[in-house]
Structure 1
């Protein structure tokens, strides 16, 4: 029992160290190694367990699925440098701008398209903030509404595939599912794949888009001054041709990448490679491709990918020590003994992840929490695709919830001084509530996440 208590202390210390601002990977690995030594001195941890780390690291480095991460990052950064968003926002603004709330609706639609083509939250929020916030200010939008729309739309890349969080969740849940199946005596489990999660997240992602648009329409009806129409009452001639020219190139790339994954023609890694080539072609088509741009894209790709993988390696040390101290058995016992069974266990885990999102990044939550609770929940006969989609929607809120919501920081960095930080924080409250509503809808109607994978795979 001493080891299990020590594992909980280790979890609390790791969260505290992260809140102090120390590098995530080294905080997780350092905390794990420190408590391994403490546990060994108390006789509650077997040091030879650390000998399995090299094989774990080698498994990460040889995992073909993880190759998709730098490729999707490259695709997203290249499309951002090609200024796809600028063209989309201009044309969508003209298309919807004549109706109340139309400019906000166009921002949500562009955010959805960027999510399906880039999936990079930071780049999307910054780009949308630079392009759409001045236009919304000029149109007379309420600063709280405009900043909330931009932040929420920018986070759609977390749930709409191709999403990096879905790639990471797919691999971790695959291991958790296999572990859960072995624990109940099934030695030939049917694995969950990233393709299942991509398909499962598709409808919930569109549901969130519809809920965002619905709120903007309701807000414009209740308070017309908060979301006025643009001054122009007539759409310019040839607008539909402009819309087609703006939508067709990125639309074809989205259909090619997602379509090849969802139809099973290509693996996520192969589709990511195709998407990267397509992004280069689009950048060249828009005459945005040169050596400075290519150097910037490659540098950004290396930085993001290195951050993800170093955190993964540090989290491997943490989770190994946590299990070695018996923390997984303690968590399993706590969840199994909750009144209400599966519902209560799921509710507690979702609430824990939601509140951790106030202080931690989604990557830390994925690498620290999911390996611990994933096998336990899956032993309770929870559908792994539904679980993965629920986790992804929950993690999406971590970008919006203060004090450490990264989307808030990204927008604050590019917003003019006239936009107060308090307005940004107040503006995201309705959209966090909408995300919680979306989470509740997927919880109440699991077929929203399981129907599409069921007919495709």
Structure 2
């Protein structure tokens, strides 16, 4: 009975989210309504709710999560300071004469922007506004142009410093400690956000390389989809001025984390200050612009933390209805043991990506299944990277992929929505290929963290 009610709770949340209700209030409100009904019916222990204040206080005082507003601030500043515009202009001049060169420019600039901002919506909108009209004028197929922009924008999910990895790292760390305590390990090891950052470097670069190889292969096999543009005059000094500052900023932020000189939170503070300094030197950060940046940062941060609070309420009530034990029995009884359980979880996350956003999946699903898989012996860094790339597909999968919505909002009305959907399909296949490669060779995610943190 209790296990069944937990599944009804999960289903009710999914339905309400699909209907468009706010995520944070849906999670908390639905959970509290089910808890109240359970208390009245005598099937829910009200003492579970006594742990709620300490959970909420722990969320708000979590030092790791302080990195979220700082990375958001860094990303918003860079997005508003015309960094992408200058990079794209110079890259397109450098590669424009090559067939598929414009698409390669979008991939490279999108990769740098993803590493600089970590905000998928900002990257997709910025690249859509800047590059889509250029690609249309160059005669690019609408599907190729829109698919490249959407897929490149989602790189902010996996290329560090990624806000998604910060949130996922905090949840994976808590799940790992919970899993070890369940196995009577009273001095549990920890996995940090920095470990996920390091582990994401090779898979992230692999994704970029496969994107580029796909574009080059498509340009060779179907040249009519990507006409070669006329080679334009190229200013090397302009490229250096546009490329070096963001690369230097990324190097300082990631380098300090990789070298162990700073925590992700400290590095985020350095990154935010560095982004403000770069924007100020370019005279792009007056008081009016600064006010816009701070307001945008506040809105995004408030949204994330409200969802965190809602997710804490949901997970507590879900556990009170016996949902965790139900999921544990289900996964433990799967044919194939750890392999079968992990495969089912990855499939569920992929399918939920069709209807739910990555934040909802991160805060609702991962805390439920994470401790169970980690208790079965799954490596936490590998699991975190696998989930991150899987969640990346939630931005691309029709019909509710948010990257598709972002681009649709800024794209020309002459571009059919169906073309956007068709364009992202090859990139979804590439992401699934990277997941398969990670499954076959977990060292792609675990080797670098082991070398840097022996």
Place the TM-score, normalised by the shorter chain, in its bin: over 0.9
- Taking structure 1 as the reference length, the TM-score comes to 0.98
Provide the C-alpha distance between the structure 2 equivalents of 1:295 and 1:402, rounded to a whole number of angstroms: 35
1:37-57: per-residue Cα shift (whole Å, max 9, x none)? 222233321112111111111
Q: Would the aligned equivalents of 1:408 and 1:425 in 2 still touch at CA under 8 Å?
A: yes
1:44-73: per-residue Cα shift (whole Å, max 9, x none)? 211121111111111111111111000000
1:358-416: per-residue Cα shift (whole Å, max 9, x none)? 11111111110011000000011000000000000000011111111111111111111
SS of alignment partner, residue 140 of structure 2: coil
Aligned residue for 1:441?
437
Show structure 2 runs of 5+ residues with no match.
Answer: none
Query: 1:227-246 counterparts in 2 under 5 A?
Result: 227-232=226-231, 236=233, 239-246=235-242
Aligned residue for 1:402?
398
Task: Determine whether 1:319 maps to 2:277.
Answer: no
Aligned residue for 2:30?
31
Provide the C-alpha distance between the structure 1 equivalents of 2:409 and 2:365, rounded to a whole number of angstroms: 30
1:281-334: per-residue Cα shift (whole Å, max 9, x none)? 111121111011101110110000000000110111110011011110110100
Query: 1:150-189 counterparts in 2 under 5 A?
Result: 150-189=149-188
Task: Determine whether 1:351 maps to 2:350.
Answer: no
Aligned residue for 1:113?
112
Indicate which of 267, 272, 279 corresponds to 1:271: 267
Query: 1:29-178 counterparts in 2 under 5 A?
Result: 29-178=28-177
Q: Would the aligned equivalents of 1:3 and 1:39 in 2 still touch at CA under 8 Å?
A: no
SS of alignment partner, residue 299 of structure 1: helix
Query: 1:319-338 counterparts in 2 under 5 A?
Result: 319-338=315-334
Task: Determine whether 1:363 maps to 2:349.
Answer: no
Task: State the Cα distance separating 1:170 from its structure 2 match.
Answer: 0.9
Provide the C-alpha distance between the structure 2 equivalents of 1:37 and 1:78, rounded to a whole number of angstroms: 44
Task: State the Cα distance separating 1:242 from its structure 2 match.
Answer: 2.3
Query: 1:180-199 counterparts in 2 under 5 A?
Result: 180-199=179-198
Show structure 1 runs of 5+ residues with no match.
Answer: none
Task: State the Cα distance separating 1:251 from its structure 2 match.
Answer: 0.7
Indicate which of 291, 294, 312 corresponds to 2:287: 291
Task: State the Cα distance separating 1:236 from its structure 2 match.
Answer: 2.5
Provide the C-alpha distance between the structure 1 equivalents of 2:399 and 2:113, rounded to a whole number of angstroms: 26
**Runs of 4 or more consecutive aligned structure 1 residues displaced over 4 Å after TM superposition:** none
Provide the C-alpha distance between the structure 2 equivalents of 1:309 and 1:70, rounded to a whole number of angstroms: 10
Provide the C-alpha distance between the structure 1 equivalents of 2:385 and 2:44, rounded to a whole number of angstroms: 35
Provide the C-alpha distance between the structure 1 equivalents of 2:184 and 2:314, rounded to a whole number of angstroms: 27
Provide the C-alpha distance between the structure 2 equivalents of 1:29 and 1:77, rounded to a whole number of angstroms: 29
SS of alignment partner, residue 417 of structure 1: coil
Aligned residue for 1:386?
382
Task: Determine whether 1:203 maps to 2:202.
Answer: yes
Provide the C-alpha distance between the structure 1 equivalents of 2:289 and 2:350, rounded to a whole number of angstroms: 37
Provide the C-alpha distance between the structure 1 equivalents of 2:119 and 2:382, rounded to a whole number of angstroms: 23
Aligned residue for 2:224?
225
Q: Would the aligned equivalents of 1:133 and 1:415 in 2 still touch at CA under 8 Å?
A: yes
Task: State the Cα distance separating 1:85 from its structure 2 match.
Answer: 0.2
Count of residue correspondences: 453
1:164-216: per-residue Cα shift (whole Å, max 9, x none)? 11111111111111111111111111100000000001110000000100100
- Taking structure 2 as the reference length, the TM-score comes to 0.98
Provide the C-alpha distance between the structure 1 equivalents of 2:228 and 2:326, rounded to a whole number of angstroms: 56
Provide the C-alpha distance between the structure 1 equivalents of 2:25 and 2:130, rounded to a whole number of angstroms: 37
1:71-102: per-residue Cα shift (whole Å, max 9, x none)? 00000000011010001001111111111111
Aligned residue for 1:413?
409
Aligned residue for 1:427?
423
Task: State the Cα distance separating 1:227 from its structure 2 match.
Answer: 1.2
Provide the C-alpha distance between the structure 2 equivalents of 1:321 and 1:377, rounded to a whole number of angstroms: 21
Provide the C-alpha distance between the structure 2 equivalents of 1:200 and 1:44, rounded to a whole number of angstroms: 43
Root-mean-square deviation (CA), in Å?
0.9
1:125-146: per-residue Cα shift (whole Å, max 9, x none)? 1110111111111111111000
Provide the C-alpha distance between the structure 1 equivalents of 2:402 and 2:345, rounded to a whole number of angstroms: 22
Provide the C-alpha distance between the structure 2 equivalents of 1:424 and 1:401, rounded to a whole number of angstroms: 11
Provide the C-alpha distance between the structure 1 equivalents of 2:71 and 2:342, rounded to a whole number of angstroms: 31
Provide the C-alpha distance between the structure 1 equivalents of 2:259 and 2:355, rounded to a whole number of angstroms: 38
Aligned residue for 2:446?
450
